[in-house]
Structure 1
Amino acid sequence: MAVTEQAFGQINGHNITRYTLTNDKGFQVSCLDYGCIITEILAPDHAGKLENVVLGFDTLEEYGSNPHYFGAVVGRFAGRIQEGAFTIEGTDYQLAKNSDGQHLHGGPGGFHSAVWKANMIETESESIIEFTHFSPDGEEGFPGNLTMTVCYIVKNDDNQLAISYSAKSDKTTLLNVTNHSYFNLSGDFKRAIVDHQLTIPSSQYAELNEDMLPTGKLVPVEEDPLFDFRDGRTIREGKDSGHPQIKLVGGGYDHPFLLDKEAQPVIKLKDEGSGRSLQIETTEPAVVLYTANHIGGPYAFKGVTAQNQLGLCLETQSLPDSVNHPHFPTSILNAEKEFKSQTVYSFT
């Protein structure tokens, strides 16, 4: 097991460091203390060849403002909140409207743009980077002095990345965090992800309106087969369908799926060409599937031109805008109560 560090540039006068966790099999995860961004995951294909399976850049300058949140931890609230407004314990709060009149991913000064404190930990069986961040009362409009910890953990005997989250606030607040990595199992972005096979153990998805917000309706997937991933399907089947919900979000998926927790769900992603598979287990109640419908642009990932559907996100979290839908699982964190969450990514 090994943890290494190297300088990665400066932002707003802060020195940014890249940390790399490596196990004895060569499996490797690299991340930054800026936004807890995962820049690279090297995982083996069917022949044992190690290649990168997440979208990322080689320089800090390329991340820029990171409008697509590549690899970052997002919060305090992952997803959208209608008009950035909510009420907790009789008090009204107003957040930034940073996405077409709605609040998105914690606002412009959210966790993705923070410089986190990092602590490297090595044991015989694990390599760990522990990131901590203090978010003061009122930051981005959220109540409460919040202390947040995110740990990236690589085990020696498994090609596995575990992400654990913990937090505590001195006021009742909202908290809904996730990692926003874009996966592409073809290796070094050889192909788009439209033919990746995806399985999500979910019987219901959240219908969206034209503002990309949940309408409040949880649709049974058996009534809407293109959203039924329980037995696995490719992204292409939905992308090319012309389904109104898929057209609404730009010709792909950007939808929350409520996980069937009683089934001890495992989300599975597979690329037949490389033989790589990813299995995801989480304590979170939902996952947002985003098929990178809007990331095409005049830039490149390590020499590969950015294009829509070059990666996909599997954002384990609570449902977006949950504070305004009482029948959704809650994202309210009570004062002095500890928040804990874990998501484990296993590559085979």
Structure 2
Amino acid sequence: MNITEVPFGTYQGRPVTKYVLTNDHGVQAGILDFAGLLQSFKVPTKDGGKADMILTSENLDEFTNNGFCTNRLIGRVAGRIAEGQFEINGKKYQVEQNEGKNTLHGGTNGFYSYIWNVDSTNETANEVSITLSLTLTEEMDTFPGQIHVTATYTLDNKNNLTLKFSATSDADTLFNPTNHTYWNMANSNVKTVDQLKLYVNSKNHLAVDDGKIPTGEKITNEGTPFDFSTPTQLGDALKEMTSTKENGFDDIWEVEPNLNEPVATLEDPESGRKMSLYSDRNALIMYTMNSDDPAVYNHGEVHPHLGIAMEAQTLSDAIHHPEFGDITLHPNEEKTYTIKWHVEY
């Protein structure tokens, strides 16, 4: 087990550092202090090399010059908030509207816009970890209260990478963070996620309006392209989505929170690489990179369905749908959430 530090360019004139966590099997996770970004997640290959399980770049500019939140930490609130408005204890709040009339991923100055502090790194016989922290004020991101957030990535010898979020605030606010990593563990000559097989422990997905805001209705997955209750080839599901406005998925699945059984799995039958996702919250938002915008990249590659984001969080716009879950954070309260990825190769 070890941790190494590597310079990784500059952001707004400040140096960015990559922290490489390596376990005894040669599995590596590269974490940037910029945006708490998961820059790489490499596993050994049968020929003695290493393969990345996620979309990546060695150029920081390719992460910062696109609007797709690639592999970054997201918050205070992941997903969308209708009209950027909400109410806590009878008090109304208006936050920045950065996607039309709605708020997306905490606004333009959310978690993903900052270099985080590195509070500590830790090495033991069976795991290595890094703890990052960020403090945001209302003047910085328009959300009420000063929030202090920590994010700890831990890589262990069982090939688990765990991300633990924790937050406190000095006033009523919202907290629903996630990680926005894009996955594609196929061989480098495979250009899309089509051959990957996806399983999701979900019976329903959310109905949404034209702005992707949940209506409150839950739609049964069975009999639709949203049904991944058995491992399903993504290409088959995506073919059924070609007639949609998005030409793919940008949708919200309701899942059973579980840190012992996978919420979802994604595997590449050809290489044998597989990722199992665990989460203690009730939603998985999946986005299949439907754009051909040049900002969507992987080492310079540009085309739709290059990767799939799998964002574990509480159901979107929960502040307007109490039955979706409680994303409020109050003074003298600490909230903690966990996401875990297990890799096989």
TM-score where L is the length of structure 1 = 0.93
**Contact 1:83–1:102 (8 Å) recurs in 2:** yes
The secondary structure found in structure 1 opposite 2:323 is coil
Deviation at residue 63 of structure 1 after TM alignment? 2.1
Query: How big is the shift at 1:13?
Result: 3.1
How many residues are paired up?
342
Structure 1 moving runs of 4+ over 6 Å: none
Partner of 1:143: 144
On the 8 A contact 1:53/1:188 being kept in 2, the answer is no
**Cα distance in 1 between the residues matched to 2:265 and 2:296:** 29
Question: Which structure 1 segments of 5+ residues have no match?
Answer: none
Aligned partners of 2:202, 2:330: CA distance in 1, in Å?
Answer: 28
**For 1:226, what is the secondary structure of its paired residue?**
coil
Asked whether the equivalents of residues 97 and 103 of structure 1 are also in contact (C-alpha less than 8 Å), the reply is: yes
CA contact (8 A) 1:53 1:187 kept: no
Whether the aligned pair in 1 keeps the contact of 2:256 and 2:263 (CA below 8 Å) is no
CA distance in 2, matches of 1:270, 1:48: 20
The alpha carbon displacement at 1:158 in A equals 2.0
- Matched with 2:282 is 285
Between the two proteins, what is the percent identity of the paired residues? 30
Q: Contact (CA 8 Å) 1:288, 1:316: kept in 2 or not?
A: yes
Judged with a 3 Å threshold, the aligned counterparts in structure 2 of structure 1 residues 299 and 138 are, in CA distance, closer, same or farther, namely closer
In 1, Cα distance between the equivalents of 2:55 and 2:132? Answer: 21
Partner of residue 324, structure 2: 328
Work out the CA distance in 2 between the residues paired with 1:253 and 1:308.
11
Q: Which residue of 2 aligns with 1:340?
A: 336
Which residue in 1 is equivalent to 2:231? Answer: 232
- Secondary structure at 1:225 match in 2: coil
> Which whole-Å CA distance do the structure 1 matches of 2:262 and 2:308 have between them?
19
Displacement after TM superposition at 1:62 (Å):
2.2
Equivalent position of 1:272 in the other structure: 269
- Check whether the contact 1:46–1:274 (CA below 8 A) recurs between aligned residues: no
How far apart in 2 are the matches of 1:300 and 1:165? 27
Cα 1:8–1:264 shift into 2, 3 Å: closer
Q: How many angstroms apart in 1 are the aligned matches of 2:52 and 2:329? A: 36
What is the alpha-carbon distance in structure 2 between the residues aligned to residue 131 and residue 167 of structure 1? 12
Aligned to 1:171: 171
For residues 256-267 of structure 1, the aligned pairs below 5 Å read 256-261=252-257, 264-267=261-264
Contact 1:8 1:16 in 2 (8 A): yes
Structure 2 counterparts to residues 1-348 of structure 1, below 5 A? 1-45=1-45, 49-118=49-118, 119-155=120-156, 157-188=157-188, 190-222=190-222, 224-242=223-241, 247-248=244-245, 250-261=246-257, 264-294=261-291, 296-297=293-294, 300-303=297-300, 305-348=301-344
Q: Relative to structure 1, is the Cα distance of residues 260 and 48 closer, same or farther in structure 2, using a 3 angstrom cutoff?
A: farther
Pairwise CA RMSD? 1.9
**SS of the residue 2:225 aligns to:** helix
Of the structure 1 ranges 181-190 and 103-112, higher mean CA displacement relative to structure 2 is found in: 181-190
Deviation at 1:65, TM superposition (A): 3.8
The residue type paired with residue 142 of structure 2 is G
Three-state SS of the structure 2 residue aligned to 1:176 is coil
CA contact (8 A) 1:68 1:295 kept: no
Closer, same or farther: CA 114–197 of 1 in aligned 2, 3 Å: same
Question: 1 CA distance for matches of 2:199 and 2:293?
Answer: 25
Q: Distance in 1 between matches of 2:182 and 2:63?
A: 14
Shifted more, 12-21 versus 56-65: the winner is 56-65
Alignment check: 8 A CA contact 1:45 1:276 kept: no
What one-letter code is carried by the residue in structure 1 that aligns with 2:341? Answer: Y
